[in-house]
Amino acid sequence: MTTLWQNIQYKILRSGSKLNLLIGINIAVFLAVNIPAVIERLFFESNFIASHLNDYLSLPAYLPKLLTRFWTPFTYMFMHAGVLHILFNMLWLYWFGQIFEEYVGKKRTLGLYIMGGLAGALLFVLAFNTIPAFTHANAAYLSVMVGASASVMAIIVATATLLPDYTISLIFIGPVRLKWLALFFVIIDFLGITGLNAGGEMSHLGGALLGYVYIRQLQNGNDWIGNIDKLFRGRPKLKIVAKNTSKNPSALPRQEDVDVILDKISKSGYDSLSKQEKEILFRASNEG
């Protein structure tokens, strides 16, 4: 048991993968909310814990309430409505997150997850307060949202935009290219925005749009997540100037070279890269 717990701690805190950290946070929040809630219902026949936590951590569409719950655009993306909800979100996050981290590096996953969640929250609130189908029914007054789906959609679409011809095998379906899988999800979400889960579908589309735009900007040399990260990095106190211009095979590749390679992957696939380009991408991924 100790060894299992140590392995979990290593994967979440010390492996360097933000993907493991995100999954760990989601599972920890789900258990922290639901275990006490289940015990309360069993022994006290009350729903106080679940109702109050959902009230304070779920994202409301009603603007006056949102002003008093200003933290919910962040907290909602770590809340889930049930076991199947978190199970499928974490499975898709794990499958696509692994591919994303392999090609873009481990330090961008957390940033994209949060940005995708915020984009989903923005579109959800905006739609429920501006689109006539929702405003005429005063749908925003009672509508709330939970789940990591918008964040997961951002990572799914970002990965598919970066590697459109990357192929994975699905049970009962077989080999499927990422671009078709992502397109399928987007179409299903769009068709569902007039259904019972309109808010959830709307947030998925917001996350998907963010994931697509982020990768396009990254391919154009604008790394939103990297630029934000640089703002919080301390400046080095000592600069070393070397006159030796010989190439160091273990040196960190230039961002310009990485962007060119990422653009080539998006157009021609990973197999079109030369051995040298694959090596550059591998070093950038390990450092990123």
Residues in the chain with pLDDT values less than 50: 232, 236, 238-247, 249
- Asked, for residue 47, whether it belongs to a domain, the answer is yes
Q: Is residue 246 part of a domain?
A: no
- The verdict on residue 270 lying in a domain is no
The two three-digit tokens of residue 101, written as one number: 């981290």
Predicted pLDDT of residue 13: 57
Asked, for residue 124, whether it belongs to a domain, the answer is: yes
The answer to whether 246 touches 281, Cβ cutoff 8 Å, is no
Structural domain harbouring 220: 16-226
CATH of residue 164's domain is 1.20.1540.10
- Size of the chain, expressed as the number of residues it contains: 288
Residue 181 C-beta-side C-alpha neighbours within 13 Å: 25
Q: Which residues are CB-contacts of 40 (< 8 A; sequence separation ≥ 6)?
A: 46, 47, 48, 49, 50
Q: Tell me, what's the pLDDT at 152?
A: 97
* Tens-digit pLDDT profile for residues 111-140: 999 999 999 999 999 999 999 999 988 899
Q: Would 231 be classed as within a structural domain?
A: no
Q: What is the pLDDT of residue 242?
A: 44
pTM of the full structure:
0.77
pLDDT given at position 243: 45
Angle at 146 between CA 83 and CA 154, to 5 degrees: 95
HSE-CB of 21 using CA atoms within 13 angstroms? 15
- Are 19 and 93 spatial neighbours (Cβ–Cβ below 8 Å)? yes
Total count of domains within the chain: 1
Q: Is residue 281 part of a domain?
A: no
Which of 36, 28, 73 lies closest to 53 in space, CA to CA?
36
Q: What is residue 19's predicted lDDT score, i.e. its pLDDT?
A: 92
Q: What is the pLDDT of residue 251?
A: 59
The answer to whether residue 71 sits within a structural domain is yes
pLDDT of residue 246: 42
Residue 222 belongs to some domain of the structure? yes
